[in-house]
Chains A and B, each alone.
Chain A
Amino acid sequence: MRLPRRRRGAAPPSAVDPVPARDRFGLTDLLGEATADIGARPGRLVTTVVGTVLGVAALIATIGFAQTAAAQIARQFDAAAATALVVTPATASTGGGETVATGTLPWDAVDRLERLAGVDSAALLAELSLPEATVTAVAVNDPSQAPVAPPALYAASAGLLDTVGGHLATGRFFDSGHDARGDRVVVLGSRAAERLGVDRVDSQPSVFVDGIAYAVLGIVDATDVRAELLDAVVLPTGTARADFGLRAPGDLQAHIAVGAGPQLAEQAPLALAPDAPETVEVNAPSARSQLGRAVQADVNGVFVILSVVVLLAGGVGIANVTMLSVVERIGEIGLRRAVGATRRQIAGQFMAESVVIGLLGGLIGAAVGVLAVVGISVARGWSPVVDPWTALGGTLLGAVLGLAAGGLPARRAARVEPVEALRGGT
C-alpha cells in the first residue's frame, strides 16, 4: 500500500499561498454543505419551516384575497354597472323548454319609474324582430348584391341617450315629439352607420327599412351600457308601433343614483305593475357602501399584521432551531475548524443553512397561499387574482427571514473554539 502521491512534477502547495479561485471553498461548496443535512431529519425540518410556511402563506393569501376582492369589486361595482337598472317582463319556462314572458311593461313605464326617488332617467327599449326586413341606405333593391345581414332594429323612447350615457358623433337624438307623432326618423349606432355608408347627417340622409324611408337624425358613437346599440338602427317607439306593430316594450332601462339599486328593486315592480308586481323583474346593482370598502381594508390590515406576527414567530423558530443545531453540532464545527475551515466559512455555512430553510419555507408558503386564494376563489365563483411578484416576493421574504434568523446562530458557531468543540462528539 502506498500513500497517495502528489502529481509528478507538481510543486507541493505552499502552506499559506492562496489556492486558485476555482478550487477555493466557494458558493457551490457552501450550498452543498448547507443543504447536505437539511433533509436528514425530516421531523425537525418540518418543525423549523412550519412557522415560515404559515407566515408567508397567510401573507400571500391576504394580499391575494385583497387583490381578488379588489378585482371583484371593480367588476361588480364600476360606475356604469352601479347606476344601471334594467326592468324586464318576468319569464317562465314552458313545458317545451321555451321561455316566455309572463307579463308586459306598460307604455308609460318611463313616467312611472321616473317618479321614484333615485331614478335619474329611464327609457323603453325593444328589439324589433323582423327577419325578412331589409335595411339599406338606398331605395334601390339590387338583386346582384350579395345578401348581408341587416343591422338590428331597436325601438326606444326619447330618453334613451341620457339613460345609456350615449354620445352623439353627429346630429341629434329624436325627442318625445317624434315619439308621440310616430315620425319616420332614426338614429344610427356608429357601426351600423358605417355598414350603411352614412357618415354625416347635414345632407339629410335616409335609411330604408322594408322600403320605407326614415330620416337619419344622428349617429351615436359611444355608450356606457347597452353597447349593442352601436350596431343598431334605433327608431322611436311610437314609430315602431305605427309601422311595425310593436305590441309592448321589451325592457325598461334606467340610470339611477349610486346605491339606490336595492331600494328600487323593491319599488319598481309596484310602480310598474301594482296589480301584479311579480310580472316584472328588476336587475338592480347591489349596494356596497364606502363603509363596506373601509371595513374590507381594515380586515386586510388586520390579516397583514397577523401574517407579519406569524412570520416573526417563524423567524424566531428558525433562529431557535439553528441555535440548537449549533449546540448539537459543536463537535462538527470543531472538526471543520480543525481540518481548515475559517470562522467566516463556518458562519457562512450556518447562515446558508438558515437561508435555505427560510427559502424552502417561503417557497412552500407562497405555494400554499396561492393555492388557498385559487381554491377559495373557485369555490366562491370569483376570478382569483394574485400578482406573480407577490408569490416571488413571499418566497424571497422567507429567504430574508432565514438570513435574519441565522445571524445570531452563525455568529455563535463562528466563535466556537475548536479545542473546546473537539472535546464533544459529532
Chain B
Amino acid sequence: MTAPAATGARHAGPGTEPAIELRDVTRSFPGPPEVQALKGVNLTVAAGDYLSIVGPSGSGKSTMLNILGLLDRPTVGEYRLGGILTSTLSEDQRAAVRARQLGFVFQAFHLMSRRTVLDNVLLPMLYAGTPRDEREPRAREALERVGLGHRVAFLPGRLSGGERQRVAVARAVATRPRVLLADEPTGNLDQTTTGGIMELFEDLHGDGLTLVVITHDAAVARRARRCVRLADGRAEEV
C-alpha cells in the first residue's frame, strides 16, 4: 500500500456493506514505456457517501472512474462493488452490474442527438431489465425531478448545456442505481449552471444515493462530504 487508506467507515453504519471497496488496486498500461495510472490505491466508500476525486491531468482520475464503473479492470488488486468481488464476474455480468447498480454522468453528456429527451432517459432501462410497464413512468419521474418534465419530446440539440447535463443525470438515476459516477460533470458548464447541477447532486445525496464525482474544479470538490486527491496514480484523503 503506497498511499494512506481513504476509508469511508465514518459514513457506513454498523454492518452496512461498503458501496465501493478498492484494495491495493494498480492499473498498468503496457508500453513501452509501461505506464502505471493507478498505484496500489485503497479506497472505501460507504453506502450513501458523497465523494469527490480531484487531481491534475494525468493523475489517474479517469482510469479510477473507469475501474469504479466496471468499464476497465485493475491489473492488480481487488474491487468490490456492493460486496461483489468484481474480478469474478463475466463480461455479461459486468454489463448487468453496470446496468442495475451504476449510473454514469459524463462531461460530454453523451446524449443521442437524434432521439428525444425521453428516449435518452429510457435507454439504460432497456438493458437494466426494468419492468416494461414501469419504464416510461420512471423516465418521466426522473425528468420531473431534474426540472425537465416539460422537455420530454425535445431533441437534445434544442437544450442548453445545463439542461443536457440534467437529462444525463435523469438518465443516470432512472434505473435507481446504488452508485452515481460523474466524470467532470460541470466541465462544459458555466458557473451558474454548475451551481444548479451541484444542488441536484446534493438532493440525490440527501436521498441516500452514493455519489463519486471526479472533478478538477475545487469548488465542485468542496461540495462533497469527502475528497480524495489523486497524484501520480496514488490516492490521498484530503
Contact B110 A426 (CB under 8 A): yes
Query: How far does the alpha carbon of A156 sit from the alpha carbon of B23 in the complex, in Å?
Result: 113
Flag if B89 contacts A340 (CB, 8 Å). no
B101 near A22 (CB under 8 angstroms)?
no
Closest to A33 in B: B126
**Given A40, A338, A341, which contacts B71 in the complex, CB threshold below 8 Å?**
A338
Nearest CB of chain A from residue B20's CB, rounded to whole Å: 13
Q: A2 contacts B207, CB within 8 Å? A: yes
Cβ contacts B99-115/A at 8 Å (1 or 0 each):
11100101010111111
- Give the CA-CA distance A335 to B167 in the complex, in Å: 14
Is B131's CB under 8 angstroms from A23's CB? Answer: yes
Q: Is the CB of A339 within 8 A of B92?
A: no
Does B114 lie within 8 Å of A40, measured CB to CB? yes
Size of chain B's interface in residues, with CB distance under 8 A? Answer: 51
- Contact indicator B104/A339 (Cβ below 8 Å): yes
A6 touches B95 (CB 8 A): no
A331 to B38, CA, bound (A): 25
Q: A4, B127: Cβ atoms under 8 Å?
A: no
- Tell yes or no: B18 within 8 A of A by CB: no
- Mark interface residues in A1-42 (1 if CB within 8 Å of B CB, else 0): 111111000000101100110111100010001001100110
Docked-complex contact A419 and B71, CB < 8 angstroms? yes
When chains A and B are docked, how far (Å) is the Cα of A412 from the Cα of B89?
24
Q: Is the interface of A mostly helix, strand, loop or mixed?
A: loop
Indicate if A411 sits at the interface (CB-CB under 8 A).
no
Q: How far is the CB of A201 from chain B (nearest CB, A)?
A: 83
- How many whole Å from A331's CB to the nearest CB in chain B? 6
In the complex, A321 Cα to B81 Cα: how many Å?
40
- Given the known A-B contacts A4-B138, A336-B127, are A15 and B110 also in contact in the complex, defined by CB atoms under 8 Å? no
Given contacts A13-B129, A340-B128, contact A422 B106 (CB under 8 A): yes
B: residues with CB less than 8 A from A are: 66, 69, 71-72, 81-82, 84, 89, 91-93, 95-101, 104, 106, 108, 110-115, 119, 123-124, 126-132, 138, 141-142, 145, 171, 173-176, 203-204, 207-209
Chain A positions within 8 Å of B, measured between CB atoms, are 1-6, 13, 15-16, 19-20, 22-25, 29, 33, 36-37, 40-41, 331-332, 334-345, 418-419, 422, 425-426
